[in-house]
Amino acid sequence: MKNIKMKIARVEKGLSQENLADIVGASRQTIGLIEKGSYNPSLNLCISIAKVLDRTLNDLFWSEENEKKQ
């Protein structure tokens, strides 16, 4: 499932995938795959991304589908 929220937050912050990747210590491909929903990042990476984008983990990584599943 695509992570649109993270993509929107990144664009609002004026960062490219490469910029974000450099700041959080990941590769551009990793950021791309997270946004595409093809890779599940570790909690540490999630926290780093959330801090850089000034969002909470819920804002970026929690979807309503998760709530429905529970």
Partner 1 sequence: MKKNNRPFNMDERSKLVAYKVIAMMYFMTILSMQGVIMYKQFALGQSIHDFEGFAVIFLVNVLFLLAALLYFGAIPLRKLNLKSIALIYGLFVVLGLLFTFLKYNVFQKMGLSFIEIMDKIIIVVVLCSLILLFFAVFALLGKRKMNKELENKRYIIDFKLLSS
CA distance 67 to 9: 21
- All residues at 6 or more sequence positions from 30 whose CB lies less than 8 Å from its CB, including other chains: 21, 39, 41, 45
Least distance CB 12 / partner 1 (angstroms)? 19
Closer CB to partner 1, 27 or 58, in the complex: 27
Q: Which of residues 12-41 bind partner 1 (CB under 8 A)?
A: 21-27, 29-30, 33, 39, 41
CA distance 40 to 25: 16
Residue numbers at the binding site for partner 1 (CB under 8 A) = 21-27, 29-30, 33, 39, 41-42, 44-45, 48, 51-52
